[in-house]
Structure formats: structure tokens, C-alpha cells
Chains A and B, each alone.
Chain A
């Protein structure tokens, strides 16, 4: 068994999970209780949005068989969109007994010959790690053969959590690609986006605004990303981490190696989008002309959103919302809801780090409930607070139906875009249609025979 998992990344002192859990994000979940995704999943979904690279999974069919083309990830790449394709060596018994290196080498050759990608990312999985395939050697030989980056990603599922895998994947790509090409020109406002996956085209809600202000996205890891741009990432003036605290460890490595500072940003809701734009400008030196352009754009966008939201105001004002989602969305989405005029009476902090909890408290105020066990708590919270709407993942739908309140699905397979200024308008539209939808009242109503029985009992 060859284990090439970068354990240095396991302990990350920038990660606030460390304060509450002994070994940080890399700590494995308990058998029988684990519900999260694995490291491979984290690595794959954080890198696959780069659509000019080809993503080859070296493993059996569970790893990618049902999960390729499963997210609405957008790209502007004009070539064939490899993000929405599935490539796997689909190893069989023969490879388990005799090793899978030959099959992998042939698979890389086939993929490069037939699809001509800008790079191949080769994902190790549990079984190919266990049988001891030397993926590094196979990739190095293929890189030599094709004159193309062939990047081994050592994030097999059993290494740990999805978050940890995201970190392993990013680190592998940064180490392999960044610094291998110089940009044609530099601007004082070059940034990298990190942890933005462009699901439902979210980054396109704010990237054009940044560009209008004069900020250039030098490279993106990996939403709408390009291999060629990733190679130039070392020249960025700032790394902007979007909604993915777990990858800050990699930003630290980049800071150490190339002196690139980093900030964490969120573009959910109007307040956070505006604050993030301002923060990026300040972190880039805060030149007066840059700041002035930013303020002009922010003023224009906020005014536009206010006009678009006006018809929803009366419907939203005074309504109470319970939010059950993960990570930094616990507060960032809550802020967006507040921007709409809703009162957020509770949010889930089950998957949140300490500073996410602090921020949630800050946004929600002293009376709001921070739910540590949302599945168990949310029914009671809805009753106590008289909430009008639940925003959560699909599995909480029954809680809403039981309480006969409106429901909006906010999970990662979502098909709606709730990011930045236009996203807020989409969110308002969806909440309004939920609040006004009779289905939540009607779907769970008693059947006629049940009502007849109740009536008979009452009259007896």
C-alpha cells in the first residue's frame, strides 16, 4: 500500500475547527455515524469545474459512476466541457490482483489522444491506493510522453473528510501547476479566486463587477478555471477565498512560497457582496481610483436591487425564517435573508467553525437560536418562534410540511443561483413563491376519512 496523502495539510492552525476538535478538519468521522462525503469527493468536486483539464478517476465504479455530470457547474471554455464528462479506469479484479498502473497509463494515453485536454488530473482512490499503484510514476512518464501537465491527486476516500480532500486536491494542483508560466503582463489588481466552483454560474454574478472596477481574475481554482491560468497563479497580488474556509491552509502555503496574502470573502446577499468588494479593494492597496470605481459600482448595484426587491418588501417584512444549511452559509445566507427584510430566528451551526458561529451570532443577534443539532431542534424552534419559512436541504422538507410552513431548498445540488446582487433577487422570487404557495398547507392535510372520523368522535 502506498500512501502519499499530504498529512501536513491535516493540521491547519488557521482552521478554527482546531479549537473545538482535537485534530482539526482531518479528523475522521466515527463508523456508523459518518454521513459526509470523502476526500476523493472533495478533491474531485473542487477541481472538476476546471473544464479544459480532463478528470480521470483511477478506481472502481462507485467513485464516479453516479456522480459525474451531477452538478450544474458552468464554464465559458469553448472547447469540449470535460467538467460534464466522466472518465474512469473502472478497475476490475485483474487490476486488483496484478496492479492498475498499465491500465492507467493506457487510459491517460487514450484520453489525451482522443480529447486533447490542456492537462489531465488523475485521482487516486481507496482501492488503487490500497493495491499500491505508483500513480506518481505513471503520471510523470505520461507527462514526459505528451508534454502536457499530468497531475496526480492523492486524496483517496479513506484519507478523511470532503473538506480535507478539497484541500489535498487544491494543494496538488497548486504545487504542480502554479509558477510554471509567467503572465504576459501584470496589473496591480490581479487576484486568484479560490474555492469558487461556479455552480449555476454563481461567480458570473460578481466577476463582471470586479472586472468593471478594474480587478483582474488571474486564475480561478477552479470555477470556470483554465490550466494555463492556474500555471500563472503565483503572480497574483491577492488570493480571495470564496465560501471555503477549509482551503485556507493552501493559501498559507502560497503566502509562504510567493508572498501572496489572502482574504476570505462571501458574495451571498447584498451586504456581504458589497463588503467583500470593498475588502478586496482595500487588500489590493486601496488606491483612491480603485475605491471610487468600486463605490460607484456598489451604489449602482444596490440601487438596482432595491428597486427589484420593492415589490417583495411587504410580503417579506416581519416574516420569520429558520435556516438550516452548512458552513459559512449559516451566516452569509442569513445575512442575505435579512437583506430581504426577513427576520432570521434560527440558523444551523452544525458544520460551522468557531468564527462562523461568532459571525452568525453577530448577524442574528442575541435572541436567535444557533442550532447545534438542527435535525432534532428545528421542529421545536419553528413552533416556539412561529416561523413562516424554513430554508434547508431537501431532507428537511417534511419538517416544513409537518408544521405547514413554506420551504425553500438551499443545498449544493440546487439549480437556482442565489449569489450576489442578482442572486438576491432570485432568492426573493423563490421565497415569495414559497410563501404564497398553498401546497405547504394542503399536502399534509388530513384525508377525508380521517376528518370524517374526527367529526364522528367529536359529535359522540
Chain B
């Protein structure tokens, strides 16, 4: 294998971007907190674009309000007025337990002081600075998780060894969060995920998500997180969040794992948990490991000969690259939406921060492109397979039910990829 080349985008623009903005990641994080109403501080479009994005991706109504900043307000107001007015206007119609206030490029560039604004308003608010000219979805999500930790978690004198704060990164899908919680619970741990999409955006019938977030971690549980004896952060984007928690609550042991896809990554997580709890995994986890082992053997016949290009959020593409290379797959290129520590050890021939234009020259040499909905058209032009993963996916249904992580999801992921390759081979054979 040739040495990996790593580069940052040097272009003056993005062509066919895969990057999503920081306020979008923040919105999604607020959707993992029960009773939370995200209030985006910016012009109306920022919230409208974000709402459409989330609604179409998850096939669920999404609650979000905005401060509708106009050009006049931009000149005259420092944010106090529009935020105050927004809250005054919506409170008679909806009463959230907490308001998630976050900025956009417009209000951040103007220098609005969200902390000050929040302190002048007599209502529970958690705030985060999330301008869209910095970072991306991963950092927006991480900033909101940090905001809850810094602004809401109460210090606790006692430490509960078996109580765990789980910090999933933004690309860990609802059922994958559930899988993590379940597996850790089987070790006898009490697990709280922050944010927790597994009970809010898991696409269940019955509750109306349109007014505010229903499901997700409860505020009382967030306040009481201070007694956690352990914090587990998943993915490079959440490492600092875990570190921050451990600094604020020194009795908590911080366990960081880079990824949760494939055999080695899952083994590493399980090994550490076994070590910390002194318990063995339950029969179900052990059985799924055996199933994954079997799938790896079955899948290597196709994936082992296949060449992939990945694009998307760094923590997820790094994870996918690990899972694919474990069965001999070759990752020709991986394109991250933003720069990240995850990209530093990603096993691919080329790793870059860029867009889908950057991989078009490489596509003729690849078999499959794994990325969001935009990969479909581009892959089709080059006669390649598109395997839909990442944000956003507008045409598929059941996106939130996808399970690609841990032993079980790892098996499902390899099956999906191998079958896509097999189908393509059969199609070509018939031609």
C-alpha cells in the first residue's frame, strides 16, 4: 500500500460540499434533550434551512424557533431585543423545559454576547456560540454537549462508580446510541447519553416532535450527571468534551474511544469496560461478536477486492475506513467535511479535507462511493456504486434505524456493503 497523503483544501470555494454547518450540529444536539426547544439566533433562513434538512433526513417534524434578525435589527440591536422578543412571543404557545440558544454567523460576527443575553432572561437557557464560519456539524454538536455540562450539571460530592456519562459524536445514529447504552447496561452500568437521540429521533409513532423535543435525556438526569464515576467519549470530536467533564468532576474517570465500528474498535471498547467493571459481557454481546467474525469471513471475498471512496463527517468516515480495511478493503480516498484528529490515522491512500469535486478524478479507479445523498448522482455518472451514509439523506427512509456500530452493527454494515458489490457484479454479468 502506498503511503498516505494528507492535505487540506486549498481551493477558494467548495464545489459539491459535504460540509454541514455548526448551527446544524447544534440543533441536532438540542434534539437529544427532552423538553428542549432550540432557538437559533440569526436570520430566518438559517433555521428554515436547518429545519428542512433535519425534517427530510429523519422524516420527522423538527421543533426549532429563531430570532428572525433583520438588517435593521442587525444594525440597531445587540441581540438582547430579538432574543427577548422571540421568547416572549413563543412562550404563550409552547412551554419548553429549557431553551437552547445558539448563534449563527450573522449574530456572532456582530459580536452578540449570548452569555450576557441569557443572564438577562428569566427562563432556563443553555447557550452556545456556534457561528457557521467556524467548524462544522461535529463541533456544533460538541459545543452544545459542553454547554450542558458547563451550565447545567451540578457538582456532586459523591461518585457513583457504575454511573456513566456517554458522549456520542454527531454521526452516531439513534439506534446506534441505543446499542451503546444497551451494551454498557449489560455490564451493570447506569448509562446516560448526552445528547441522546435514541429516544427522540428514532422515528417512533405516537409523539409529536413539532412543538419541542420529546424524548432524549431528561434535564433532571443532566443536572445529576455530576455523580458519574465514568465518562466515555466516542470519536475525536467528543474527546475534549469528555476531558472537560473530567476536569469539572475530577472523580469521573475519562475513557475515550476513537471509533465504534468493526471488530478491533468494538473489542477495544469492550476490553476497557471489562477492565473497569470487572464484569464479562452478556451472552448476547458475545454471540454478536461471533456473528461479526463470521460475516467478516463471508464479506472479505468481495470487500477484500474492492476499492472505496468515503466522504462525510470525519469521526464517521474514520470509523468506516477501519471497518472496511479490517476485511481487506482498500480506501482510495477519504474526504472529511472539516479538519479533525480523526483524519490523522485514517487508513486510506489519500486523506483530505474537501468536497465531492475533489474525489471525481479518483472515482474511475473506485468500486463504491460511500457518502450522503449527493454521492448518488456523482457515482451514477461514473457508473459506480453509491452506498448512502451520512448527512443528509433525503431520498431514503429509515435512516435513523441504520445500525453500523459495535458487533451487531458492524456485521450489518459489512453485509450492506458486500451485498451492494455483489449486486453490481451480478448486474454487470447479465449485461
Mark A residues whose CB is within 8 Å of B. Answer: 1, 3, 5, 28-41, 56, 59-70, 84-93, 95-96, 103-104, 106-107, 109-111, 114, 126-127, 129-131, 156-162, 394-395, 398, 413, 443-444
Contact = CB atoms under 8 A, between A and B. Distances in A.
B136 interface: yes
B44 A34 contact: yes
A31 B89 contact: yes
Interface in B95-119: 104-106, 109-110
B301 interface: no
Nearest to B89: A32
Interface in B129-148: 131-134, 136
Contact of B14 (A5, A88, A126): A88
A30 B19 contact: no
Given A66-B50, A69-B374, A90-B14, A32 B104 contact: no
Contact of B71 (A5, A70, A110, A131): A5
Contact of A66 (B53, B74, B86): B53
Contacts of B45: 37-41, 62-63, 126, 157
B85 interface: yes
B157 interface: no
B65 interface: yes
B339 to A, nearest CB: 11
A85 B15 contact: yes
Contact of B85 (A32, A131, A161): A32
Contacts of A158: 43, 69-71, 73-74, 106
Given A35-B48, A66-B49, 8 more contacts: A29-B44, A32-B85, A60-B105, A61-B21, A67-B49, A88-B14, A126-B74, A157-B43
A127 B24 CA distance: 17
B133 A160 contact: no
B44 A127 contact: no
Contacts of B392: 66
Contact of B82 (A31, A70, A96, A443): A31
A159 B55 CA distance: 25
B344 to A, nearest CB: 21
Interface of B: 11-17, 19-21, 23-24, 39, 42-50, 52-53, 55-56, 59, 61, 65-71, 73-75, 82-83, 85-90, 104-106, 109-110, 131-134, 136, 205, 208, 210, 373-374, 377, 391-392, 394
A149 B202 CA distance: 48
Given A126-B105, A158-B70, A158-B74, A31 B86 contact: yes
A248 B134 CA distance: 39
Contacts of A444: 205
A162 B47 CA distance: 13
B61 A395 contact: yes
Contacts of A394: 55, 59, 61
A398 B15 CA distance: 38
Contact of A127 (B23, B106, B391): B106
A153 B39 CA distance: 28
Contacts of B19: 61, 65, 90
Given A32-B87, A41-B49, A62 B13 contact: no
A126 B43 contact: yes
B67 A32 contact: yes
A31 B21 CA distance: 22
Contacts of A110: 11-13
16 contacts: A1-B74, A28-B68, A32-B88, A34-B47, A37-B49, A59-B105, A60-B133, A62-B21, A62-B104, A62-B132, A64-B17, A65-B17, A88-B14, A130-B109, A157-B43, A157-B46
B214 to A, nearest CB: 13
Contacts of A92: 133-134
A87 B13 contact: yes
A111 B47 CA distance: 28
Contacts of A95: 133
A70 B21 CA distance: 16
A29 B47 CA distance: 13
A33, A109, A160 — which one has the most chain B CB atoms within 10 A of its CB?
A33
Contacts of B374: 68-69, 86
A3 B71 contact: yes
A31 B67 contact: yes
A87 B24 CA distance: 19
Given A130-B106, A131-B109, A398-B208, A106 B133 contact: no
B67 to A, nearest CB: 5
Contacts of A59: 105
Contacts of B75: 1
B12 A157 contact: no
B43, B85, B136 — which one has the most chain A CB atoms within 10 A of its CB?
B43
A92 B339 CA distance: 13
Given A65-B17, A126-B43, A158-B43, A31 B12 contact: no
Contacts of B74: 1, 126, 130, 158
A344 to B, nearest CB: 25
A385 to B, nearest CB: 23
A131 to B, nearest CB: 7
B24 A65 contact: yes
Contacts of A64: 17
A3 B87 CA distance: 28
B160 to A, nearest CB: 34
A38 B106 contact: no
A282 B55 CA distance: 44
Given A38-B48, A126-B106, A130-B110, A31 B17 contact: no
A39 B42 CA distance: 13
Contacts of B132: 60-62, 127
A5 to B, nearest CB: 7
Contacts of B55: 394-395
B14 A86 contact: yes
The 6 A-B residue pairs with the shortest CB-CB distance in the complex, in nearest-first order: A38-B45, A32-B86, A106-B12, A32-B89, A31-B86, A107-B13
Given A60-B133, A67-B53, A88 B105 contact: no
Given A41-B45, A96-B105, A103 B20 contact: no
Contacts of A93: 133-134
A70 B394 contact: yes
B263 to A, nearest CB: 33
A413 B59 CA distance: 12
B16 A86 contact: yes
Contacts of A443: 205
B127 to A, nearest CB: 16
B111 to A, nearest CB: 11
A62 B86 contact: no
B88 A85 contact: no
Nearest to B73: A158
Contacts of B394: 70, 413
Contacts of A38: 43-46, 48
B12 A103 contact: yes
A135 B246 CA distance: 47
Contacts of A161: 44
A114 to B, nearest CB: 8
B44 A90 contact: no
A158 B74 CA distance: 8
Contacts of A114: 15
A30 B89 contact: yes
A123 B39 CA distance: 26
Nearest to A44: B45
A156 B20 CA distance: 19
A62 B89 contact: no
B373 A63 contact: no
B14, B39, B47, B90 — which one has the most chain A CB atoms within 10 A of its CB?
B14
A1, A39, A56, A66 — which one has the most chain B CB atoms within 10 A of its CB?
A66
